[in-house]
Amino acid sequence: MPIMYTRVDNRLVHGQVGVTWVNHLGANMIVVANDEVAEDEVQQSLMDMVVPDTVEMRYFSIQEAIDKLNLAGDWQHIFLVVRTPQDVLRLVEGGIDLKKVNLGNMHFKEGKKQITSTISVDEDDKKTIKALLDRGVQLEIRRVPDEPATDIMKVFS
């Protein structure tokens, strides 16, 4: 399957994702898998603005992503972006084979505990992360490509 990299970022596609990560990966397509954004043309337009014209954008609901990602051609170098680890789990449970996932940004909010400068988790996040690890998905924390990756198990309890 041509998914090059998968990233959890609650901001989805912004300058860092649309330029820095795309250039680092050599991706020619970004797939945003998010039920809300799949129906919101305004959010899609805002994300389209930060991506080079040479990169195709697709906005799928989680179910559409499950239905379509396994059909992608070998010429498609896909950077998959989701908002939450729960979205990753739904994709994996739906048959998308994700071996490694980058936790890039999960903002702090009420009820969450900050475990790194960019990652905050609540009990549901912890349960979901454990379920992903139990399914053999490797989880790393990394904001930008030139930063060393941190294995989630080094900061997760």
Cβ neighbour number for residue 47 with a 10 Å cutoff: 22
Distance CA 50, CA 9 (A): 15
> Measuring CA to CA, which residue among 95, 89, 53 is closest to residue 30?
53
Note the pLDDT tens digit of each residue in 41-81.
Answer: 999 999 999 999 999 999 999 999 999 999 999 899 999 99
133: pLDDT strictly greater than 70:
yes
Q: Can you list the alpha helix ranges (DSSP code H) found in the chain?
A: 15, 22-25, 41-48, 62-69, 85-93, 123-134
Residues found in the chain: 157
Say which residue the tokens 């990652």 belong to.
119
Residue 1 — very low, low, confident or very high, per pLDDT cuts 50/70/90?
low
Q: Is there a contact between 55 and 36 (Cβ–Cβ < 8 Å)?
A: no
Segment 127-139 mean pLDDT: 96
Residues noted as catalytic:
14
Residue 85 — very low, low, confident or very high, per pLDDT cuts 50/70/90?
very high
